[in-house]
Homo-oligomer: A and B are copies of this chain.
Amino acid sequence: MENGIANLLGALSLAVMDRIEQGAREVVGRGGETPAALIVIGYGQGMTNDKLRRILGLSHSGTVRLVDRLVSDRLVERRAGKDGREVALHLTATGAAARNELLASRISAVTSLLDVMSPAERKQLATLIRELLARQDTSEMDRFTICRMCDDRVCTNCPLPTNKGQHAR
């Protein structure tokens, strides 16, 4: 059946995310979108509450409370934004350290599944996944959403297309 591949990818994705989420919970002591929020804020482009909300796919109030948790955990600070309405989210030193741990934990979780493959197989798989992602029809915000856990220290050449509405940002 042609759907066999869909089922296999579904199973693999579940296994991958189980491991990533377990590691993330151990590192930051929180679940849900909180780990992703820490990573996204760490990208450092003067993240606002509202932008974060759209990237994480949460409601507005859910995002405010999520940031409340990060602030009470001393991982994030709310600073004044350019616009008097906006809040600029910044990582504290502790937050930046936690973020690095989080990224390392994620890479390690995925690597532990991948290291049964030979270097040639890994290269082949990387090429296929890169193509798969590159051909997706993703909006600017979709791209941030998919990449909300991505390790910017490792992913120097993101395959996702940046041109859906033809103009970025």
Contact = CB atoms under 8 A, between A and B. Distances in A.
Interface of A: 1, 3-18, 20, 57, 106-107, 109-111, 113-114, 116-117, 121-126, 128-133, 135-136, 145-151, 154-157, 159
B150 A114 contact: no
Contacts of A124: 124, 128
A114 to B, nearest CB: 6
| Copies of this chain in its oligomeric complex | 2
A128 B135 CA distance: 20
A149 B8 contact: no
Contacts of A133: 8, 11-12, 15
Contact of A130 (B8, B17, B110): B8
A155 B113 CA distance: 21
Given A9-B110, A124-B128, 18 more contacts: A3-B151, A4-B126, A4-B154, A4-B155, A5-B129, A6-B111, A7-B107, A7-B150, A7-B154, A9-B125, A10-B109, A11-B155, A12-B13, A12-B129, A13-B13, A13-B110, A114-B132, A116-B135
A111 to B, nearest CB: 5
The 7 closest A-B pairs by CB, nearest first: A116-B135, A13-B16, A13-B13, A6-B110, A5-B126, A3-B154, A8-B129
